[in-house]
Amino acid sequence: MFQANTPSRPNRIPGTLELEISDPVLMLNEIARRYETTERVLMEYVDNALDDAEALYVEHNQRYPYHITIDITIDAAAGAVTIKDNCRGMSRDVLERVVKNIGESQKRGVTWVNGRFGFGVQAFRAAAEHIQFQTQHQTSSGYSLELDRRQQRGIKEAKRQDDPFPTDSGTGTIVTITGFDPDWSDFSVESVKAEIEHHFERLIARPGLTITVGESGQPSRQCTPFDYDHIEGRSIRRTLQATYKGETYPIDLHLVVAREKRPERAVSFFVRGRRINDAVQIKSFMRKSTYKTRLWSHPHLLGYIEAGELVQPAITRDDFNRTYGRQLCYETILTLEPEINTLIKPVNQAGKNQTLGKLENVINEAVAAA
């Protein structure tokens, strides 16, 4: 937990020093600046809902006990975005802890969920002034809590809410973000929907889970997963095995060398169903690769690599921490490079032949016109 600069605590060990942060709000706001788009900020709150849903999924033998819904509503007139889910929700204690105890994630060490840093709830600071949480857990009353990004002290405790919670399950969480900065207001239903479909494509493919995005007062649009099976081309679908400290870790991948160019669907790394980044954008992976960008940025190559528990996402969740697990993951994946390259060669040759054919036609037309 980050602490403000306060007098030394009486239980401090004599002869030792303690780390202190004189302005935790300033530090949090600066860390939040690492987010580059509003869409990516909003994904943190969708991710929190998916983490809550994942606990239900694991508890019920890899299936959701009821239909999970996550609804994102953009209210342009009010300058607000609301993320509502019908998952488990939070008790008052948990709600207050996730807001005030920065760096203390109760999800850390729980392998099936994505949150590790306890920071995602603070992501709004990059784009907006204000956030409100409303939540209802089945074992407690409902509660709400509000937070401004410039506020360090005087944050009001969670307020009890006795009205029925507005979801079909009677439980869940509603996050409302308001006061967006002008430079962070250039998002839309389409851009948020596209980010969800790209960022969570492995999760929204599950039955029993629906994520929708819409404008206030308008019909919502459902997010749909990308269907690799309907892409014409040659595919590689494998579950690779990597052994680390006596444990076996699966690495699931589905790569397609498509007949037509699909540069917008570059091969991406995923961890627990969440997209981390395009493979070609992860510099540590490219340094290990033999074929480099000529393979991994090929416009006909698309797909996903689910790295699972072998790697640790960085705090911004767009790269991996430097660990032996990361190295082992890369080495295992890169054994497929020769096979991938073999599938790409005919595509490259066809492209060359097409280029030569076009050049020949141009020359023939020029000669005929002479």
* pLDDT tens figures, 218-277: 999 999 999 999 999 999 999 999 999 899 999 999 999 999 999 888 999 999 999 999
Of 222, 256, 277, the position where a domain reaches its end is: 222
329, amino acid identity:
C
For the segment 37-62, the average pLDDT, to the nearest whole number, is 95
Greatest alpha-carbon span in the chain: 96
CA angle, 349 as apex, 348 and 355 as ends, to 5°?
A: 90
- pLDDT tens profile 206-228: 999 999 999 999 999 999 999 99
CB-based contact 39:195 (threshold 8 Å): yes
Same domain, 76 and 210: yes
Where is the domain boundary, 170, 200, 222? 222
* Residue 358: pLDDT over 70: no
**Cα–Cα distance for residue pair 345/300, rounded to 1 Å:** 11
Q: What angle do CA 349, 355, 356 make, to 5 degrees?
A: 90
- Beta-bridged to residue 128, according to DSSP, are 180
Rg (CA), the chain: 24
Q: Tokens at residue 115, please?
A: 């949150």
Residues 213 and 235 in one domain: no
Q: How confident is the model at residue 6 (pLDDT cuts 50, 70, 90)?
A: very low
In a shared domain, residues 286 and 301? yes
Q: What angle do CA 172, 178, 182 make, to 5 degrees?
A: 145
CA distances from 223 to 205, 212, 214, 336 (A): 10, 6, 11, 32
* Contact residues for 15 (Cβ-Cβ < 8 A; gap 6+): none
Which pLDDT score is estimated for 16? 87
- 129 contacts 178 by C-beta, under 8 angstroms: yes
- What pLDDT does 351 receive? 61
CB neighbour list of residue 234: distance below 8 Å, 6 or more residues apart? 256, 257, 343
Residue 293 lies in a domain: yes
Per DSSP, 140 falls in state S
User: What confidence score (pLDDT) does residue 178 get?
Assistant: 98
| Domain identity same for 212 and 291 | no
The average pLDDT across 129-148 equals 96
What is the mean predicted confidence (pLDDT) over 115-133? 84
Q: Quickly count: other Cβ atoms within 10 Å of residue 80's Cβ.
A: 18
Number of domains, the chain: 2
**Residue 223 three-state SS:** coil
Res 135 pLDDT > 50:
yes
Q: Quote the domain boundaries for residue 74.
A: 24-222
| Range of lowest pLDDT (90-94, 313-317, 322-326) | 313-317
Confidence class of residue 370 from pLDDT cuts 50, 70 and 90? low
pLDDT tops 80 at residue 154: yes
Low-confidence winner among 8-12, 40-44, 144-148 (lowest mean pLDDT): 8-12
- Residue 317: pLDDT band (50, 70, 90) is confident
- Which has more confidence, 182 or 19? 182
Last residue of a domain, one of 169, 199, 222: 222
* Shared-domain flag, residues 52 and 188: yes
Helix (H/G/I), strand (E/B), else coil: 164: coil
* 36, 142: one domain: yes
Establish if 358 belongs to a structural domain.
no
Residues ≥6 apart with Cβ < 8 Å to 54: 112, 113, 114, 272
209 and 297 housed in the same domain: no
Q: Residue 252 has which token pair?
A: 């699931």
Asked if residue 36 is part of any domain, the answer here is yes
Q: Which residue has the higher pLDDT, 152 or 331?
A: 331
Query: Does 216 lie in the same domain as 243?
Result: no
The whole-chain average pLDDT of the chain stands at 88
Quickly list H helices, 158-300.
189-199, 283-288, 292-296
186 and 242 share one domain: no
Q: Is the pLDDT of residue 203 over 90?
A: yes
Using an 8 Å Cβ cutoff, are 284 and 319 in contact?
yes
pTM for this model (two decimals)? 0.83
11 belongs to a structural domain? no
Q: How many CB atoms lie within 10 A of CB 46?
A: 24
80: in domain: yes
Among candidates 266, 264, 324, 261, which has minimal Cα distance to 293? 266
Same domain, 283 and 323: yes
Same domain, 188 and 142: yes
185, part of any domain = yes
Please say if the pLDDT value at position 109 is more than 60. Answer: no
At 57 the pLDDT is: 96
- Residue 112 clears pLDDT 50, i.e. is over it: no
Amino acid at 68: I
Q: Is residue 167 in some structural domain?
A: yes
| Whether 200 and 249 share a structural domain | no
**3-state SS assignment for residue 102:** coil
pLDDT for res 356: 43
**Rounded Cα–Cα distance for residues 53 and 88 (Å):** 7
Tell me if 7 is assigned to some domain.
Answer: no
Tokens of 36: 């580059």
Average pLDDT, integer, range 345-359: 67
Say how many residues make up the chain: 370
Residue 113's CATH number: 3.30.565.10
What is the Cα–Cα distance from 72 to 202, expressed in whole angstroms? 19
Rounded to the nearest 10 degrees, the angle between the axes of helix 38-59 and helix 189-199 is: 50
